[in-house]
Amino acid sequence: MAEFTMPSLGADMDEGTLLEWLVGPGDLVHKGDPVAVVETAKSTIEVECFDTGTMTELLVEPGTTVPVGTPLALIGPTEERHPVRQVPKKARPTEPSAPTSPPPEPAPVPVSVPSAGSRRGHIEAGPLVRHLAEHSGVDLETLHGSGPGGRVTRTDVEAAAAARAAPRPPRVRATPFARRLAAELGVDLATVTGTGRESTVRAADVRQAAPGPAAPASPVPTGATPLRPSAQRPSAARPSKDRAAAMRQAIAGLMSRANRDIPHYYLSTTVDMAAAMDWLHEHNRRSPVGERLLPAALLLKAAALAAREVPELNGFWTDDHFTAGEGIHLGVAVSLRGGGLVAPALHHADTMTPLQLMTALKDLVARARAGRLRGSEVSDATITVTNLGDQGVETVFGVIHPPQVALVGFGRVVDRPCAVDGLLGVRPVVTATLSADHRATDGAVGARYLTAVTRLLQNPEQL
């Protein structure tokens, strides 16, 4: 019997409020499934389960604030479940459901099927059903049979086929220019109110939505989708003023500690971005709007790959020694609309393509601003990048996020006169900075890191 406890979601958290259970007693959970929503001073976070088993007992009522480490629920061995409700693997983002109710109409696991493993062996289905499934491209193994003995019926197949063909969320009506502008400014068109004919979103609407506060962005579905879409979160109900104050307090505490405890050293270099920008423009010209990249994608990728080359900067300073991070989990500083800052992690950023990074970044920013980050994202970052380029500054020297040992800063890509091959030319350049923990590394290591970033950005096609 394992305990599911209130996790520490970052160095600045000592207690948290359980807002909501995403599972109920008797539910089967897997390691990594989001099971509860916890509110910290900074954000509302979906907490993943650390064990696989059955939720036997929920110990804490939603709304209760408990210290880190307090048991929240008990998880029993898998065999104990009976009857079992399977936690659906896939979110259904368009299906409305009350935030605290269990998933509606859970498909019952057939009684005749003892375990998830053996179920794949044989599917109870008649020839007509098999033919229908084949015809409509439905994989029988993914279906829960509703017929006698768990048999897959014709209705099941038809329902699955219909669900696949279900209309996607309606395409936002926007002008081509507005669409392009939204992509450039990182504005989610779904959140913009159109003022054109038939509510078409126009450039002016996008510009208006870009800097100011807007409706929370809806999350982009990814492989690890939360159980329920964040749009249904009653986030507006929370008093935002207290919230902002609490967040300020949390940031104040953490940053004071960082500046007090961490002897920072700072390095800065100017990176020639000509090759990177050329590549980016070429890529964007060839790509549909949804796949266009911002310079940030390349900068993040370069920062991640450089961290792989210089592992001394990728990890944590705890108990007076350095522990290297397992994987490159790039923390990304995201400023929130109501003020404040979070730095959730892009897991294994060094293995992602720039396009994947871009998609992941959009998703992360949207969820950060909607207050729907996941626990692992909040606590796992091994090195943080702050990119204030879109705010117009050229150089940012950041404060390290404890217990990490380094923070990379990128400014705006600007055209500057620059000596190239003995001649003066105008080149796009970006200032890359490094704030690093002098306890963990010395300047030479930091210099190697920035040199690696510079070198990587000269071969953008290899990023």
Partner 1 sequence: MGVDGTHEAKTTYREAMREALREALRSDDRVFLMGEDVGRYGGCFGVSLGLLEEFGPERVRDTPLSESAFVGAGIGAALAGMRPIVEIMTVNFSLLALDQILNNAATLLHMSGGQLPVPLVIRMTTGAGRQLAAQHSHSLEGWYAHIPGIRVLAPATLEDARHMLAPALADPDPVLIFEHGSLYNVSGELLPPDAPVDLDHAAIRRPGTDISLITYGGSLPKALAAADELAAEGISAEVIDLRTLRPLDDEAITASVTRTHRAMVIDEAWRTGSLAAEVSARIAEGSFYELDAPVERVCSAEVPMPYARRLEEAALPQTADIVAAAHRAVD
Residues at the interface with partner 1 (CB under 8 A): 175-180, 196-197, 202-203, 289
Q: Which C-beta is closer to partner 1: that of 177 or that of 199?
A: 177
* Of residues 275, 273, 297, the one with CA closest to residue 346: 297
Smallest distance from partner 1 to CB 205, Å: 10
Please check whether residue 327 is in contact with residue 278, taking contact to mean a CB–CB distance below 8 angstroms.
no
Q: Which C-beta is closer to partner 1: that of 208 or that of 268?
A: 208
Smallest distance from partner 1 to CB 186, Å: 17
How far, rounded to the nearest angstrom, does the alpha carbon of residue 320 sit from its chain's CA centroid?
30
Q: Which C-beta is closer to partner 1: that of 292 or that of 369?
A: 292
Q: Which C-beta is closer to partner 1: that of 24 or that of 196?
A: 196
Q: Which C-beta is closer to partner 1: that of 183 or that of 429?
A: 183
Smallest distance from partner 1 to CB 177, Å: 4
* Of residues 398, 402, 408, the one with CA closest to residue 446: 408
Give backbone dihedrals phi and psi of 73, rounded to 5 degrees, phi first: -160, 165
Smallest distance from partner 1 to CB 350, Å: 32
Please check whether residue 406 is in contact with residue 383, taking contact to mean a CB–CB distance below 8 angstroms.
yes
Asked if residue 311 has a cis previous peptide bond (ω within 30° of 0), the answer is: no
Residue 254, phi-psi category: left (phi > 0), alpha (psi -120 to 50), beta (remainder): alpha
Beta strands in 30-68 (DSSP E): 34-39, 44-48, 53-58, 65-67
Cα(451)–Cα(461) distance, rounded to whole angstroms? 18
Smallest distance from partner 1 to CB 197, Å: 8
Cα(377)–Cα(399) distance, rounded to whole angstroms? 19
Smallest distance from partner 1 to CB 419, Å: 32
Q: Which C-beta is closer to partner 1: that of 57 or that of 291?
A: 291
Smallest distance from partner 1 to CB 203, Å: 5
333-428-282 Cα angle (round to 5): 90
Q: Which C-beta is closer to partner 1: that of 1 or that of 204?
A: 204
Please check whether residue 62 is in contact with residue 46, taking contact to mean a CB–CB distance below 8 angstroms.
no
